[in-house]
């Protein structure tokens, strides 16, 4: 019976190789989103994804995406291990795919940038303010998506056309999930809840605009280091973990703007570094871009500039340390052919060092200028 099933499976992939030289400022730095930012680093494979996907019958689509560039803390200190990112099925409640349940590990429908694939994002890393909601943007649970036919076509167009849309995560979404992050076991008896509404509209001049709102609510229990651990100022099941966010995107036809902001409360190391408490957080970003569809016959070029701000704690990092981010980025993404992308930009980092090495210094701030280079293959 293998043959018939196999005929329905498709495979594709993408890969990102990076290098991030420091050109000024503090050298003792670390960035939780990219291990190749820091002193004594060079080339790194940031993502190496294979995606096995397909439709079976009229009721099921499946999507299995391991990342072959994962690290899991092996004792021989090697990386590039295969670990799941997505692994889910879409069960179509109606055959027109307007109503569906997504069960498995998948992206949590919170934040436009979280949902947009890294394959399509211009900046190399997501903003901290909204991305800190969800480890690897994903979790394990059950999600309901409502997408009318018209929006199905719109979401598909926004990706296929190269406009860097988010893909179809519903016009309306509601879900319940463990809340401990992708590939992590549940550690309390509370599920997280999420809901999102987004609406893309096409203006008379043909340009597309999308805006929406989303919220998360749950209880989160941070992990603490084994030595010099802060006290957890909460009950057994953890801390209140609540956020609300808004997003607005003017798609780059050719000029585009993208912005998001969110506010919330969650676990946070206190200023003295002695105790984890419930604290407020807020932050977001704004990005401007200009899409040159034909760069003198050498493919697509997209210059961009991005500013991001975050004042809150990174609950998924050990000890839930505070992060105060005020970063600038400016540069371009260049696609000479659709299968090859090269990104280069300048980034001014102003944020905290959240590495375990920095625990003894209470996660100090740093101010550093770096260049960022990425080569991406799409296949």
Q: What's the closest the beta carbon of residue 48 comes to a copy of itself, in angstroms?
A: 5
**Per-residue contact track with a copy of itself, 231 to 260, x per CB under 8 A?**
------------------------------
Answer yes or no whether residue 57 interacts with a copy of itself by CB under 8 A: yes
Does residue 51 interact with a copy of itself by CB under 8 A? Answer: yes
Give residues 359-378 in contact with a copy of itself (rule: CB under 8 A): 375, 377-378
Tokens of 275: 């105790």
Classify each residue of 157-167 as buried b or exposed e, where b means 16 or more C-beta atoms within 10 Å of its C-beta: ebbeeebbbbe
Q: Which of 26, 28, 33, 67 is nearest to 372 (CA)?
A: 33
45 binds a copy of itself (CB under 8 A): yes
Instruction: Specify the residue, 105 or 308, whose C-beta has the smaller distance to a copy of itself.
Output: 105
Decide if 170 contacts 196 (C-beta within 8 A): yes
Task: Pick the piece of the chain touching a copy of itself (CB under 8 A) from 70-78, 271-279, 280-288, 325-333.
Answer: 70-78
Single out the residue of 78, 205, 227, 360 in contact with a copy of itself (rule: CB under 8 A): 78
Site string for a copy of itself, 311-340 (x = CB under 8 A): -------------------------xxxxx
Paired residues of 350 in beta bridges: 367
- Closest to 218 measured CA to CA, from 110, 144, 84: 110
How far, in Å, CA of 301 to CA of 123, rounded? 14
- Our finding on whether 62 is near a copy of itself (CB under 8 A) is yes
Cβ nearer to a copy of itself, comparing 137 with 327 = 137
The size of the interface with a copy of itself (CB under 8 A), counted in residues, is 84
Is residue 52 a contact point for a copy of itself (CB under 8 A)?
yes
Site for a copy of itself in 257-276 (CB under 8 A): none
Which lies closer to a copy of itself via its Cβ, residue 98 or residue 340?
340
Find the shortest distance in angstroms from Cβ 360 to a copy of itself: 19
Residues 6+ apart with CB under 8 A from 235: none
> Could you tell me the smallest distance in angstroms from the CB atom of residue 47 to a copy of itself?
10
CA–CA separation, 151 and 153 (whole Å) = 5
Please pick, from the candidates 26, 28, 68, 211, the single residue that binds a copy of itself as defined by CB under 8 A. Answer: 68
Whose Cβ is closer to a copy of itself: residue 287's or residue 368's?
Answer: 368
Indicate left, alpha or beta for 136 from its phi (over 0: left) and psi (-120 to 50: alpha). left
Assess 69 for contact with a copy of itself (CB under 8 A). Answer: yes
Can residue 75 be called a binding residue for a copy of itself (CB under 8 A)?
Answer: yes
Site string for a copy of itself, 79-118 (x = CB under 8 A): xxxxxx--x-x-x-----------xxx-------------
Helix (H, G, I), strand (E, B) or coil at 94: coil
Element (H, E) at 149: helix 149-160
| Cα distances (Å, whole numbers) of residue 301 to 119, 172, 252, 350 | 15, 33, 12, 28
Number of other residues whose CB lies within 10 A of the CB of residue 185: 8
Question: Under the criterion CB under 8 A, does residue 42 sit at the interface with a copy of itself?
Answer: yes
How close are the terminal C-alpha atoms of the chain, in Å? Answer: 28
């Amino acid at each position: 019976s293998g043959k018939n099933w196999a005929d329905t499976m498709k495979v594709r992939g993408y890969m990102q190789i990076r290098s991030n030289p420091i050109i000024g400022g503090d050298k003792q730095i670390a960035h939780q989103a990219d291990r190749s930012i820091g002193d004594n680093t060079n080339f790194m494979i940031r993502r190496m994804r294979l995606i096995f996907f397909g439709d079976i019958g009229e009721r099921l689509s499946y999507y299995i995406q391991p990342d072959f560039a994962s690290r899991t803390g092996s004792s021989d200190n090697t990386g590039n291990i295969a670990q799941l990112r997505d692994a889910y099925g879409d069960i179509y409640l109606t055959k027109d795919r307007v109503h569906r349940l997504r069960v498995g590990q998948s992206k949590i429908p919170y934040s436009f940038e979280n949902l947009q694939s890294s394959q399509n994002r211009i900046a190399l890393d997501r903003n901290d303010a909204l991305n800190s909601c969800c480890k690897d943007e994903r979790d394990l649970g059950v999600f309901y998506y409502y997408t009318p036919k018209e929006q199905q076509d719109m979401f598909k167009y926004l990706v296929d056309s190269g406009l860097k849309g988010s893909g179809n995560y519903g016009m309306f979404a509601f879900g319940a999930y463990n809340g401990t992050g992708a590939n992590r076991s549940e550690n309390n008896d509370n599920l997280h809840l999420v809901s999102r509404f987004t609406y893309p509209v096409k203006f008379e001049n043909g340009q597309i605009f999308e805006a929406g709102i989303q919220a998360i609510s749950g209880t989160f229990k941070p992990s603490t280091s084994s030595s010099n651990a802060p006290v957890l100022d909460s009950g057994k099941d953890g801390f209140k973990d609540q956020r609300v966010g808004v997003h607005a995107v003017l798609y780059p036809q050719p000029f585009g703007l993208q912005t998001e902001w969110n506010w919330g409360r969650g676990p946070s190391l206190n200023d003295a570094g002695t105790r984890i408490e419930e604290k407020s957080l807020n932050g977001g970003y704004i990005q401007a871009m200009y899409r040159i569809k034909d760069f003198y016959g050498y493919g697509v070029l997209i210059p961009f500039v991005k500013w991001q701000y975050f004042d809150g704690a990174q609950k998924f990092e050990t000890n839930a340390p505070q992060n105060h981010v005020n970063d600038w980025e400016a540069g371009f993404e260049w696609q000479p052919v659709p299968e090859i992308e090269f990104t280069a930009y300048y980034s001014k980092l102003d944020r905290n060092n959240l590495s375990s090495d920095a625990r003894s210094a209470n996660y100090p701030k740093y101010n550093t200028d770096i260049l960022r280079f990425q080569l991406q293959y799409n296949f």
